[in-house]
């Protein structure tokens, strides 16, 4: 792999914070940390669309004491049983639960499922991690 040298500008405070973070993570070079950060950004921002097949993980934290939350989640999961490979449920506190949903299917449908889960009242946080399925 060839390397190209480029110059970029950072606000001073952001660069200090980035350097501190990179060091904590064990990076020996700023360039390597920046490359990894750019790869991560492209992965997160570059959600494939349409018919492309993806595998992924939807993780969400929700308050099960909010009326209707658990029922809405279960209904949505059953409506998308063709996408869902497996689920894991963890009790975090008396109120909060973590749900991890492993999915596989068309990128557009996986994104729609994640978006629908995010809008359920009682869902506090949702993250979607995915990767393309390559032959």
| 64 and 94, same domain (yes or no) | yes
DSSP for 35-99 reads HHHHHHHHHHH----TT-EEEEEEEEEEETTSTTHHHHHHHHHHHTTTTEEEEEEEE-SSSEEEE
Q: Which residue has the tokens 């060839």?
A: 2
pLDDT at position 21 over 80:
yes
| pLDDT confidence tier of residue 26, bands split at 50, 70 and 90 | very high
- Show the CA angle centred on residue 71, arms to residues 69 and 77, nearest 5°: 100
Of the pLDDT bands very low, low, confident and very high (cuts 50, 70, 90), residue 45 is low
Residue 130 is predicted with a pLDDT of: 84
Residues 84 and 26 both lie in one domain: no
Residue 134, pLDDT above cutoff 80: no
Opening angle at CA 10, ends 43 and 2, nearest 5: 55
Residue 44 above 70 pLDDT?
Answer: no
Q: How far apart are CA 94 and CA 65, in angstroms?
A: 9
Which CATH number covers residue 91? 3.30.70.1150
Tokens standing for 102? 């492993």
Cβ atoms 127, 61 nearer than 8 A? no
- What pLDDT shows up at residue 48? 64
Per the structure, the count of domains in the chain is: 2
Tell me: do 60 and 90 sit in the same domain. yes
**16 is in which domain, residue-wise?**
12-45
Residues 28, 78, single domain; the answer is no
pLDDT the model gives residue 87 = 97
């Amino acid at each position: 792999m060839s390397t190209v040298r480029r110059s970029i500008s950072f606000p001073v405070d952001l660069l200090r914070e980035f350097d501190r973070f990179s060091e904590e993570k064990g990076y020996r070079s700023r360039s390597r940390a920046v490359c990894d950060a750019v790869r991560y950004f492209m992965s997160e921002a570059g959600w494939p669309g349409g018919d492309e097949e993806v595998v992924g993980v939807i993780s969400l934290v929700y308050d099960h004491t909010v009326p209707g939350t658990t029922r809405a989640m279960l209904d949505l999961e059953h409506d998308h049983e063709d996408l869902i490979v497996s689920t894991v449920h963890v009790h975090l506190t008396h109120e909060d639960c973590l749900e991890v949903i492993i999915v596989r299917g068309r990128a557009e449908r996986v994104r729609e499922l994640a978006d629908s889960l995010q809008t359920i009242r009682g869902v506090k946080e949702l993250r979607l991690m995915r990767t393309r399925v390559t032959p």
